[in-house]
A = this chain, B = another copy of it.
Amino acid sequence: MPSHSEMEAAVHAYVRGFATGDAELIIGLFADDAVIEDPLGTPPMVGGQAVRAFYTRIMADGGARLELLGPVRTAASSAAFPFASFLTRDGVETRIDVIDVWDFDEAGKIAHMRAYWGPENVTDL
C-alpha cells in the first residue's frame, strides 16, 4: 500500500506535469489498467491507451494550469485533493473547481481516478 508521502508526491507530480506540459510524466502515474471518470457520470476511460489519448488531447488543446487548494488527504490507499483548473475553452479563460479522488494499486500507480465537478463548478473569468 502506498504511503501518504508517495500518494502526495504523485499529486504534486501531476500538477507539475500540467505546469510543464509533460504528458509523459502524467501518463506514467497511471496503472496499465487504470480507469478515469472525469467527471464522474461520464463514460469511463479504461486502460493505458485511453489514459494516453485523454492527456495527449488535453495537452494538444493547450493544457491547463492546476492550482492545489489545500492539503492532499489520504486514507487507506486513496488520495483526495481540491484544486482549480484554469484553461481556455472556446477562447474564454475558464476556472473549474474540482476534487479528484485517486485509488492507488499496490505498485503505487493510479488505478482509478474519479473527478468531481459539474457545470455549477465552472466559472468564466
Contact = CB atoms under 8 A, between A and B. Distances in A.
Number of copies: 2
A4 interface: yes
A91 interface: no
B101 A101 contact: yes
Contact of A120 (B4, B78, B82): B4
16 contacts: A4-B118, A4-B119, A39-B75, A40-B78, A41-B76, A70-B70, A70-B97, A73-B99, A73-B117, A73-B118, A73-B121, A74-B121, A75-B115, A80-B116, A81-B99, A99-B101
Interface of A: 4, 39-41, 69-71, 73-82, 97-99, 101, 115-121
